[in-house]
Amino acid sequence: MNWKAGQDCLSLIKRSEGLHRQRSDGKIEAYADPVGIWTIGYGSIEHIDDKRAVQAGDVITVSDAERWLQVEVDEKAAAVNALCTVELTQSMFDALVSFAFNIGTEADGFKGSTLLKKLNRKDYEGAAREFDRWIHGGGQVLPGLVIRRNREEALFCRDGFPGNDVPIPDLSFPDSPWQEPKLPLHIHRTLVVGNTGQDCFLLNCALAKLGYLADGIQPGKYTVVTQGAVEWFQGDYDLTIDGKFGSRTKAALTTALTNVARRVPPPMLERVYCRLTRTGTTTYAELEKLLLEFIDPKGRVLAKLDVISGAPGAQEFRVPDDSLSFPGNLEPIPQARYTIGDIDFAGGKDNYTVAHTHPTNGIGPVWVPLIKTQLDDRDKFGFHMDWNRSGSPGSAGCVCVGTEAELRELVALLRRYDPRDLFVDWGIR
């Protein structure tokens, strides 16, 4: 079957690439990406109309960018159709086209990838785990690629895999202590109430891992309690709530377990999020005081903290693709959306005396990574305390509280609300 890229594919590419760089007159100009390749529009590196590489000074319209995107997506879709020799679903195809759009379809890209080799062996779950190997650019891990690969993998798994449901007889399996679920999940049939076997035990362990079942001894059967947990999980992941553990639910569960292992959940807006804005007032060392707010999905502010970002004399507020936004410039974190990672204590949980090792000794005991969802060439960002404020106040772009008491409050708020999105809004439009 010759598939065509669907709207999910186009939306994922647009979301990942962004439309850059838009001028004040509405036209789009070329820019150098994080590894120095001249790019325009939605990630185009080829000038479609002039049949050449994009170069400095190129300017196109928004409609050109949309047209070029469709041309390139169609080209990548044709290549993916030619290279894939196994049955796919629409969501798998859309994810693969986005992936190929980003890495190319030649031998050094999709054509030569282990992902394609596993896919063509019908090792669908193995292929899904290959996405996050393609997260490097210029010899470094690019956080924007981490986010993109998570989205592509989630789309690839979303609708389950072809031929993933085979007749397997029920076998007796004893109730046993919980075990860490390993991927791929060896569950190869649709499970319903009354089924028994090791696959039922593995499912119960996986559901307990994610908090849908209690810890401890797990049954080797699909009980009504298992069914309730599956229905709860299906509701959380926008699946059809039928209490049956089929291929689509398995694919979503696999993605959820993978994200837990990576410890950086995908961005969500159905939960509390953080917003960082300017106040126009100053605090210590003549740094501008910034406002970090915790906001619920209905827009209500639940809590707020005063913070800083950037170094004294260097608080120029910018967007990621500003040509003056470069590594080491000591300016505040650029205006963008970020994924909030997990709390990392240098000396173990709630130890506020041991500091993270850092060249400037400026991190302190707690580090919370802020993962970029838009590519730029600035340094890594995170939440932490301005640990050496007495001698060298400020930060190189990280978002910092000024005292240990404020750090403890920040940790308490992150634990209480568990936000995963930070929106930095400097008012730049």
Element (H, E) at 345: strand 344-345
Q: Which of 274, 320, 312 is nearest to 293 (CA)?
A: 274
Q: Which of 134, 126, 163 is nearest to 151 (CA)?
A: 134
> What are the φ and ψ backbone dihedral angles of 277, each rounded to 5 degrees?
-135, 170
Active-site residue identified among 17, 130, 152, 331 = 17
**Measured between alpha carbons, how far is 99 from 149 in angstroms, rounded to an integer?**
8
* Structure-token pair, residue 24: 């004040």
**Measured between alpha carbons, how far is 271 from 267 in angstroms, rounded to an integer?**
10
Is 316 labeled as catalytic in the residue annotation?
no
List, in sequence order, every residue forming a beta bridge with 46; answer none if it has no partner: 53
**Measured between alpha carbons, how far is 133 from 131 in angstroms, rounded to an integer?**
5
Say if CB 137 and CB 35 are below 8 A apart.
Answer: yes
**Measured between alpha carbons, how far is 244 from 251 in angstroms, rounded to an integer?**
13
Cis peptide before 184 (omega within 30 of 0): yes
What number of other Cβ atoms are within 10 A of residue 17's Cβ? 23
Q: In this structure, which amino acid lies at residue 236?
A: D
Q: Which of 401, 396, 403, 397 is nearest to 414 (CA)?
A: 401
- For residue 191, the 8-state DSSP code is B
Q: For the stretch 307-327, what's the b/e string if a residue is b when 16 or more beta carbons lie within 10 angstroms of its beta carbon? A: bbbbbeeebebbbbbbeebee
Catalytic residues: 17
